[in-house]
Amino acid sequence: MRNAPTILHLDMDAFFASAEQASKPSLRGKAVVVGGLGLRGVVATASYEARVFGVHSAMPMAQARRLAPNAAYLVPRFELYREISDQVMGLLRTLSPLVEPLSLDEAFVDLEAGGTAWDDASARLAGVKLRADIRAVTGLTGSVGLAASKMLAKIASEQAKPDGLVVIEPGTERALLGPMPVRTLPGVGPATGDHLRRGGINTVDGIAEAGEDELVRLLGKAHGHALYAMALARDERPVVAERETKSVSVEDTYDVDIHDRVRVGLEVQRLADRCVQRLRRAGLSGRTIVLKVRRYDFSTLTRSETLRGPTDDPAVVQEAAGRLLEAVDTTGGVRLLGVGVSGLADYTQEDLFAQAQAQATAQARAAVEETAAQEHSDGQGEEGAEEPAAEQVPAAERRWPAGHDVHHAEYGHGWVQGSGLGRVTVRFETPDSEPGRVRTFRTDDRALEPADPLPLVPRRPEDSTGVSAGAPGRA
Query: Catalytic residue positions?
Result: 106
Pairing outcome for strands 142-147 and 165-167: parallel
- CA distances 159 to 96, 164, 417, Å, are 24, 8, 34
Of 441, 395, 394, nearest to 422 by C-alpha is: 441
Q: Side by side, which strands form the sheet with 247-258?
A: 247-258, 334-345, 285-295, 300-311
Of 77, 40, 75, 83, nearest to 59 by C-alpha is: 40
Quote the crossing angle between the two packed helices 78-93 and 15-23, to the nearest 10°. 110
Instruction: Provide the phi-psi class of 259: left if phi over 0, else alpha when psi is between -120 and 50, else beta.
Output: alpha
Q: First CA to last CA across the chain, in angstroms?
A: 32
- CA atoms within 13 A of residue 390's CA, in its CB half-sphere: 12
Residue 42 pairs in a beta bridge with 60
3 state SS of 128: helix
CA–CA distance, 440 with 419 (Å, rounded to integer): 9
Q: Do 64 and 43 form a contact (C-beta atoms < 8 A)?
A: yes
CA–CA distance, 410 with 244 (Å, rounded to integer): 45
DSSP states of 140-152:
--EEEEEESSHHH
CA–CA distance, 313 with 319 (Å, rounded to integer): 10
**Residue 174 dihedral angles phi and psi, to the nearest 5°:** -65, -45
Q: Which residues contact 222 (CB under 8 A, 6 or more apart)?
A: none
- CA distances 252 to 173, 178, 294, 318, 327, Å, are 44, 44, 10, 16, 20
